[in-house]
Amino acid sequence: MATISKVWTSEATIYQTDAFQGSNSDVGSTEIFSSTIDLETNGYEGVQITIKVDFPDNPTDDLEVYFYASLDGTNWDNTAFYSITITNDTDPHQRSFIIKDFAYLRVGLKASGTTDTIDVQVKYKAWRWQSA
């Protein structure tokens, strides 16, 4: 009898500001986007996305997070299929999400106001099912 198991990719970073030893810009009042997560090419079903947030001292703004899908990794939906606000009441803050059944994904990041710039790191691991 075959055994079905979940096989995970290695962890990958799709957005990272300097506070996390990255080179992307801090998140401000203009929405910025992560790199693309490609689930289609190797037949992955879904991802666990983890977002780490480091707010400035005495923050005013929260972090708005948007999740967008695409059929081809180029033409992105105009409206996010899911969004959440990570509040500044816990600093630093980490939040994880499971998203599945899309071909391509990306994350939009934006401060809720115009006062703060926020340091953010976005990582993911994708999975698919395998029969052994």
Token pair, residue 116, equals 């703060």
Domain that holds residue 20: 10-131
Helices (H), the chain: none
How buried is residue 124: exposed, middle or buried, by Cβ count under 10 Å (0-12/13-18/19+)?
buried
DSSP symbol at 19: G
Q: Is residue 1 part of a domain?
A: no
Q: Is residue 67 part of a domain?
A: yes
Q: Is residue 4 part of a domain?
A: no
pLDDT (tens digit per residue) in 37-85: 999 999 999 999 999 999 999 999 999 999 999 999 999 999 999 999 9
Per the structure, the count of domains in the chain is 1
Q: Is residue 57 part of a domain?
A: yes
Question: Is residue 21 very low, low, confident or very high in pLDDT (cuts 50, 70, 90)?
Answer: confident
pTM higher than the cut 0.85: yes
Q: What is the CATH number of the domain that holds 70?
A: 2.60.120.1110
Which contiguous run of DSSP H or E holds residue 68?
strand 63-70
Helix, strand, or coil (residue 20):
helix
Q: Is residue 26 part of a domain?
A: yes
Under 8 Å between Cβ of 100 and 48: no
* Residue 14: pLDDT over 90: yes
pLDDT (tens digit per residue) in 84-123: 999 999 889 999 999 999 999 999 999 999 998 899 999 9
* Residue 132: pLDDT over 80: no
Q: Is residue 112 part of a domain?
A: yes
